[in-house]
Structure 1
Amino acid sequence: MAQMNEKLKGIIFDKDGTLFDYAQVWEDVLKEGIDSAFVSMGKAGHQKAKKAMLHLMGIDEHGDSLPKGLLFTHRPFRIFRRFLTYCIRYRVNAIKAIRAYHQSVQNSEAILSRKLSKMDFSIQQTLFSNLKKQGYSIGIITNDNASSTSLFLSLMGLSEYVDFVSCRDSHYKKKPHPQAFQEFCKQQGLGTNQVAMVGDTITDMLFAKRAKAGYTIALLSGSNDKKSLRRLSDVVYPDISALLTDKRLFPAL
């Protein structure tokens, strides 16, 4: 838990599950990707296996996030083990499944563009605008790739507010290693204790802790792992809209 005595001058956001509700954006994309993958594997009719795949990834049949989903895990061995167990149980060829998954990822940007263009991001735009008016430097540090991240920020109307972006294909080490956080601080001339971190997963919270962030905010709009997030953060909110009334970020409120 951070010390609450330093004036905050910077803020870093994760992307998926933080800037927006994860399942709301990604559910349709994942379903379409899974359907396409099973068609390419000649298993289009295997509804039970497709449903189980969606659960494995981290979204249930009601469109809610599952904290233990692979999408919210950044431990390679755990991901490999659970994926292999799934393939054995449902008699899915692991190599074909991986190839099909990578193909679906390549096709996802067109689906995302259609989805995002219909959504209202006025709350996020207001928040980022207010942060800039308060003099904050804003960073985005995500394990998504640069192309997808650029697409999101553009369609959400946030690109103009962002001072720093680190993605999976940037040359910085991935979260929870603090290298990207430290680089943000270096470029913006800030101490780590002057920077707030906003995220939705245990990885984000560990990232903030290792970087010695000044303030750590957890949102339940991604992994929804309430128990772990409460233990590792300074404050927990339902979603990003709550930041507009956070008195640590906006002391004048």
Structure 2
Amino acid sequence: MNAAGEALRGVLFDKDGTLFDDHGWGAVFSEAAEIAAKGQSMLVPEMLAAIGYDRATERFAAGSIGGAGNTFDLADAWLAIAGGWERQVLVREMDALFTRLVPLRFPPVTDLPVLFSALKNRGLCLGIATNDVAASADATIERFGLDGFIDFSAGYDSGHGAKPGPGMALAFCAATGLAPDQIAVVGDNRHDLEMGRSAGAALNIGVLTGTSAHDDLAPFADHVIESIVALPALLDTLREGETRHSM
């Protein structure tokens, strides 16, 4: 039996765009750009465009720095335009801002305690892997009362590397005692799915609640669903198919 059936024992989720509505990033990055510009407000539109943000649609391009990158990617893009900072200082400033604002601005895409409780009742270990700073992930987990459901969480600065590298997925496996072929990775961006594939995850599942469309994710995903709300039904379908196949 493969991990599409009963052998699946863990699910590693991306955070923003997957578990949480990430449309608030436009406003957050606008505030961050004003800080990074150091009074050169005329540069802010160019800075936002450089990370893939379209002010007219209030959307990020799939795979863009704003949609999938980490704070170092952000800092490098903005320093090339505005300058005026030491790279590490700007990264610290931005991470502090994100840790303060993101848990307050980004609502869950569904009732996460209900969903996570149902998944835990299936015997699944649950984790979060984000290219956001780890402190922001931790603050979000605490704010929404998810501590009792999450077995692992990591940000780009947790020491496992950033997505699309495999480090966070492999660290999830190490923390839970699972093998890569026992886990599913769920995310709204190709970086999430590339992480899962490079780690050897059994299932890579794309969701459409973030910055990517179906065609952006399909080449990298085993399955694409509308949102994590559909995850239990997908797992049931896969299990039923495996059961029929083995009869």
**TM-score interval w.r.t. the shorter chain?**
0.7 to 0.9
Indicate yes or no: 2:47 matched with 1:53: yes
Q: Is the 8 A contact 1:6 1:193 kept in 2?
A: no
TM-score calculated relative to the size of structure 1: 0.77
Give structure 2 stretches of 5+ with no counterpart: 241-247
Q: Is the 8 A contact 2:13 2:186 kept in 1?
A: yes
Match of 2:102 among 86, 104, 112: 112
Aligned-residue CA RMSD (Å): 3.2
Indicate yes or no: 2:68 matched with 1:64: no
C-alpha displacement at 1:33, in angstroms? 2.0
Indicate yes or no: 2:31 matched with 1:43: no
Question: Tell me, what secondary structure is at the counterpart of 2:127?
Answer: strand
Question: Tell me, what secondary structure is at the counterpart of 1:224?
Answer: coil
Match of 2:245 in 1: none
| Partner Cα separation in structure 2 for residue 76 and residue 26 of structure 1 | 13
> How many pairs are equivalent?
237
Indicate yes or no: 2:185 matched with 1:194: no
| Partner Cα separation in structure 2 for residue 78 and residue 182 of structure 1 | 22
C-alpha displacement at 1:162, in angstroms? 0.4
C-alpha displacement at 1:130, in angstroms? 0.6
TM-score calculated relative to the size of structure 2: 0.79
Most deviating of 194-203 and 240-249 = 240-249
| Partner Cα separation in structure 1 for residue 187 and residue 32 of structure 2 | 25
1:62-103 Cα distance to aligned partner (Å, 9 max, x none): 322211421245599987886566x2xxxx3x2349656753
Question: Tell me, what secondary structure is at the counterpart of 1:217?
Answer: strand
State the identity as a percent.
Answer: 28
Match of 2:133 in 1: 145
Give structure 1 stretches of 5+ with no counterpart: none
| Partner Cα separation in structure 2 for residue 143 and residue 246 of structure 1 | 26
Q: Is the 8 A contact 2:164 2:194 kept in 1?
A: yes
Indicate yes or no: 2:84 matched with 1:95: yes
Indicate yes or no: 2:210 matched with 1:217: no
Q: Is the 8 A contact 2:18 2:187 kept in 1?
A: yes
Match of 2:173 among 173, 182, 185: 185
Indicate yes or no: 2:247 matched with 1:247: no
